[in-house]
Structure 1
Amino acid sequence: MTGLNKFFLSFFCLSFSVIIPTLHANIYEFDEYWQQRAKQAHEDALKAYDPNPMGVVGNITSYIAEAVIASNSTRRKLEANTGPCRATNPIDRCWRCDPNWANNRKRLADCVQGFGRKTTGGKNGAFYVVTDSSDNDMVNPKPGTLRYAVIHKGPLWIKSMTIRLNQELILTSDKTIDGKELLFRLLMVTEPSPQSDGDGDGISIFGSTNVWIEHISMSKCYDGLVDAIMGSTHITISNCHFTHHNEVMLFGASDGYSKDKIMQITVAFNHLGQGLVQRMPRCRWGFFHVVNNNYTHWLMYAIGGSRHPTIISEGNQFIAPPNPNAK
């Protein structure tokens, strides 16, 4: 499942295999249900696993090279403030260079790169417009609310509004939360605290496959900003802005959970800014491509790993802190 805390605006795509049973279920049925869902989630993750991850790495790298070449050509042709598209990474070029992108919002689902490239989210579903900003009933949410949409069975493309959640938000499969208005698409997750046994993560990805987190801003969460655990795989985190937090991204929560060997994650085109301490990301077991990110003055370390992960760090910009122990 995927959980979100304080919620404002977003572009968030999911296609994964966890749904939520009624909270009034018999405890035996509840346990049996989740055991079956865990089994299905693991089977889906195994099916998604790419035995040739370097092929995915090479694919996104080639797209980056093409975008850079196109951008350099564009700069030579620009006249004043007019001219061809200026987007410089392949995800942004996919939508920003289309003058009619706002009229075909679902096309954005085709722009994802990296290991999350097969994420469809709500592309094949109806549009759902959030008309009620309240968040008062966690068990039986009102139609028109965001919480009602995210537990809906089947794909939805959700167009949100400014919302302050009272509890963490748990999303079911095949959902896109789209906060783009004009030229803005943004999810801000800031200063959440654990509620009703939640862990206080900004975004928690648990046993999920095919997830795209794009153009979000996160800071000052209680625990991690983004955690992916329990065999979650085929994830892309791109064009995000992270600041003022201790533990930023954790991929694989336990040295003892070897099923995370199938974890494959792309971290691309993000800005990791002021006030971050560690885990940008912290990786266990799996395969991770960290590409073309900007790191500014971390306090402890930037990228780390244990339990034999493969980490490809490529094309990143590091502005190290003055502390020699943090370099």
Structure 2
Amino acid sequence: MERLKEKLKKVCVLSLLLSTILTFSQCKKEGTRPGNADTPLTNETPGVLDSQLVSGSASGLMQVNVSTGTSDGGFALRIPMDAKLTSDSNEKPTASTVRVFENGVEIGPAHSSHDDIRTKGKGRFSHKLNFLYLSASDNSDPKTNGKKYTYTVNGQGGAILEPTPPTTEQPTAPVAGNEPIGYASVNGKTTGGAGGQTVTVTTLDALKSALSSKSPLIIQVSGTITGTGLLQVESNKTILGLSGSKLIGAGLLIYGKNNVIVRNMTISKVRTYSNIIIKEGAHHVWVDHCDLGSELVSDWDYYDGLLDVGTGADYVTLSWNKLHDNHKAMLIGFSYTRPDDANHLKVTVHHNLFSNISERTPDVRYGNVHVFNNYMLNAGYVGSLMGATVRVENNYFKGSSLPIRTEISPVAGVISGLSTNIFESSGSNKITSAPSTWVPTYEYKSALNAAADVPAVLTKSAGATL
């Protein structure tokens, strides 16, 4: 009897210890990245961190975190899955062994077409290219119907991407002048170097020194500065180009930093890199009233892009910029194999003039991007790729051979707001996915121009006009 009591005591202690460990391991601070937010991720960083994976349960069932899902149109919810799991592909359409359960009852069929999941639903699902495309058995919204969704892999507990719980978007009022509209004003503010010293730089060395300072600074760029490569920008900076200033040959890199404003800068002819790059978890960045260009040469790779956002960057507004005379303009999402970007890349692109651009106005992979009141003049396509959700609203396309497309990636993205745009002397769109109804929650309607007014407004005011 004493031996039995001793064994029961040990079992109770072990159970209590396991419960404590599991509870502690799941506690994360809302709105932060794993690890040190100031530590930049490298290109070798896996798309899924070990700390983001939920270990298997005793029953072999794993919980599907529907809160991370985004609408894929119709009845379909798109949820990021652990890239380590074997998923379906175009070459192997039935490779996945994932089975999905709703309140303990298996649903299906698996490997359903995305169109059937969107239009028919009734529990159909697909695990393809690192995403779970899920519909409820009664075609209700899996995010709000209160049902519990679990899954197995080969009949055993697997692992599903469990990112940091997303913070709730807090509506923001549109503000004129010195504050951004859109995502750069969501879940925090973007104030740049406000409260810091104001310095004026006229040389490359002085600019590098100011950008690398750990203190808040308002950096005024004067005259013409030439250089090569990328100039790294620290957090809490406002970079303001004075009238007539130019930065030639060197670009700005915002790498894992936050609270950065770039305004009224004219940046041109940057080789190897894009003129401005925002990446590796950088957040709350506003690029406004800048002139970004190069020249249209026969080699499309001679110059890279003009304004790019990727690899976990978030809460970015790109507004009132002139992007011109370059083959590639704006890329949001740098990889076809980074499903975790579906939980980031919240970007607002408004009141930009794209002129003489071959493609990417913008090209979006995985993210949630709001593109409104832009003027595409002899400019390439807006692309929604790899399950991205893009609202294309009150834009004006003129001379665009292919304005909007979704078909150039293994998984199409979705488009909302299509009917609000004007297409003049332009070709047909190539949209292969069901329409989305997504609208961002922040307030922007008081700043929304009628699509017909966009050419006049932007011809006058876009670019380094401050």
The alignment's TM-score, normalised by the length of structure 2, stands at 0.44
Change (3 A) 1:253 1:157: same
The aligned counterpart of 1:69 is none
- Counterpart among 196, 201, 213 of residue 152 in structure 1: 213
Residues 49, 234 of structure 1: 8 Å contact kept: no
Residues 48, 209 of structure 1: 8 Å contact kept: no
The aligned counterpart of 2:180 is 112
1:156-235 maps to which residues of 2 (within 5 A)? 156-162=217-223, 163-181=225-243, 186-194=264-272, 200-207=273-280, 208-220=282-294, 222-235=303-316
1:28-177 maps to which residues of 2 (within 5 A)? 50-52=167-169, 63=174, 94-95=176-177, 108=178, 111-117=179-185, 118-130=189-201, 132-133=202-203, 135=204, 141=205, 145-162=206-223, 163-177=225-239
The aligned counterpart of 2:396 is 317
1:239-261 deviation digits (Å, cap 9, x = unpaired): 00111111111111111111211
CA distance in 2, matches of 1:324, 1:114: 30
Corresponding letter in the other structure for 2:326: H
CA distance in 1, matches of 2:199, 2:321: 24
Change (3 A) 1:157 1:258: same
The aligned counterpart of 1:258 is 339
Residues 295, 317 of structure 1: 8 Å contact kept: yes
Give the drift of 1:206: 1.4
Residues 49, 233 of structure 1: 8 Å contact kept: no
Give the drift of 1:317: 1.2
Give the drift of 1:326: 7.4
The aligned counterpart of 2:386 is 307
Give the drift of 1:181: 4.7
Aligned-residue identity in percent: 26
1:280-303 deviation digits (Å, cap 9, x = unpaired): 0000111100011111122xx421
Ranked by relative contact order (alpha carbons within 8 Å, sequence separation 6 or more), the top structure is 1
Corresponding letter in the other structure for 1:126: Q
How many residue pairs are counted as aligned between the two chains?
225
Residues 241, 264 of structure 2: 8 Å contact kept: yes
Give the drift of 1:279: 0.6
Give the drift of 1:226: 1.0
Residues 398, 426 of structure 2: 8 Å contact kept: no
CA distance in 1, matches of 2:210, 2:190: 19
3-state DSSP of counterpart to 2:226: coil
CA distance in 2, matches of 1:265, 1:122: 21
Change (3 A) 1:254 1:146: same
CA distance in 1, matches of 2:291, 2:165: 28
Larger radius of gyration: 2
Residues 345, 368 of structure 2: 8 Å contact kept: yes
5+ residue gaps, structure 2: 1-36, 53-162, 245-262, 296-302, 401-424, 431-466
Give the drift of 1:230: 0.9
3-state DSSP of counterpart to 1:260: helix
Residues 397, 426 of structure 2: 8 Å contact kept: no
Residues 284, 315 of structure 2: 8 Å contact kept: yes
Residues 228, 271 of structure 2: 8 Å contact kept: no
Change (3 A) 1:324 1:291: closer
1:81-133 deviation digits (Å, cap 9, x = unpaired): xxxxxxxxx6xxx23xxxxxxxxxxxx2xx21100122111013121222x41
CA RMSD of aligned residues (A): 3.2
Corresponding letter in the other structure for 2:267: V
CA distance in 1, matches of 2:165, 2:222: 33
CA distance in 2, matches of 1:181, 1:277: 29
Residues 247, 278 of structure 1: 8 Å contact kept: yes
The aligned counterpart of 2:9 is none
Give the drift of 1:213: 0.2
CA distance in 1, matches of 2:334, 2:396: 27
3-state DSSP of counterpart to 1:259: helix
CA distance in 2, matches of 1:149, 1:19: 21
Residues 19, 173 of structure 1: 8 Å contact kept: no
3-state DSSP of counterpart to 1:165: strand
CA distance in 1, matches of 2:165, 2:318: 17
Give the drift of 1:166: 3.6
CA distance in 1, matches of 2:381, 2:320: 17
Give the drift of 1:318: 1.4
Change (3 A) 1:323 1:116: closer
CA distance in 1, matches of 2:181, 2:227: 30
Change (3 A) 1:325 1:289: closer
The alignment's TM-score, normalised by the length of structure 1, stands at 0.61
CA distance in 2, matches of 1:243, 1:159: 24
